[in-house]
Amino acid sequence: MTTGTIFDIKRFAVHDGPGVRTTVFFKGCPLHCLWCHNPEGIAAGLDLLVRSSRCARCYSCIPACPRKAISKGPKRGPVVVDRAKCDLCGKCAEACMYEALVMAGRKVTVADVVAEVERDRIFYEQSGGGVTLSGGEPLAQPSFCRELLTELKARGFHTALDTSGLASWETLASCAEKSDLILYDLKLIDDRKHRETTGVSNAPILANLKKLAGRKKAVAVRIPLMAGVNDGPSDVRAAIEFLKPFPSVKTVGLLRYHKGGQEKYRNLGQAPCFKIYDPPSDERVGEIRQAFADAGFHVRIGG
């Protein structure tokens, strides 16, 4: 059976599609958005999170490490991990009772995920909810994503695919076919700014969105809003002009940027590769909401 790598399964999610949902977070993403607040989802493989503030200085992780990569911090402080020696075996995380050392990512089968989401079937049925695949980027693991969606559909779950849209058309189309709803991220129409802030061109993303929207598939576009990046009048106008021709795009979700996630970069041992932005003001969000509503979209704040 195909296995995939995920970094979280969140139960009782209410912003990732209709009703009460379980959201499965896939590892690996081809974009590097400067505002990303889930950096543990970017690398395709496992990561070791070192949460120094939780370290109780019991030092049981030191003998657990077969590569002698862990040492006491200065003045018997929180442990320090030499990442050059670490091979991500996960033994320290097993030894740490305080969750100061945690592996981000685990290999799972389709059956593993299905067993977890089945626990909340009654909540999906009562609320009109279901299961959302998110990440990272679910389409970066095409076989696993497709097989999981197929199994979920076969069991009667409502399925949603939360995607950046950066994948081959074949991958997107085959996964979209098994999804009841596509949550499609749209960051910027301006390609220069898109490259500067995400590291990639938006050309394939926009081309895929056009094709997808032409298929009468339910698509809800989601726009993360950062002040000074994509909340200006010309950016909003460009997004509306791009989306207006597609009758299957009825809903636009405005996701206000928040400053969470900074500590995660430190926990991953990465020099911050993100930038700290400001969220747009309430007033500006209201204006953007109104602009999309005037263009005929159903607008949601927060997803």
- Per CB under 6 A, residues contacting ligand SF4 are 48, 55-61, 64-65, 67, 69-70, 79, 81, 86-92, 95-96, 98, 100-101
Q: Cβ distance 123 to 14 under 8 Å?
A: no
What residue type is 262 in one-letter code?
A: Q
Give 93's DSSP letter: H
Please state the closest distance from residue 43 (CB atom) to ligand SF4, in A: 14
Q: Which residues pair with 26 in a beta bridge?
A: 6, 135
Please state the closest distance from residue 269 (CB atom) to ligand SF4, in A: 11
Q: Cβ distance 47 to 90 under 8 Å?
A: no
Q: Which is nearer to ligand SF4, 60 or 126 (CB)?
A: 60
Q: Which is nearer to ligand SF4, 71 or 168 (CB)?
A: 71
Residue 230's contacts (CB-CB under 8 Å, 6 or more residues apart) are: 187, 188, 193, 223, 224, 236, 239
Residue 228's contacts (CB-CB under 8 Å, 6 or more residues apart) are: 277, 278
Q: Which is nearer to ligand SF4, 3 or 52 (CB)?
A: 52
What is the bridge-based pairing of β-strands 77-81 and 70-73? Answer: antiparallel
Please state the closest distance from residue 37 (CB atom) to ligand SF4, in A: 24
Please state the closest distance from residue 5 (CB atom) to ligand SF4, in A: 16
Q: Which is nearer to ligand SF4, 92 or 167 (CB)?
A: 92
Cα angle: 259, vertex 261, 264; to 5 degrees: 155
Please state the closest distance from residue 89 (CB atom) to ligand SF4, in A: 4
Please state the closest distance from residue 157 (CB atom) to ligand SF4, in A: 35
DSSP per residue, 195-214:
HHHHSS-SHHHHHHHHHHHT
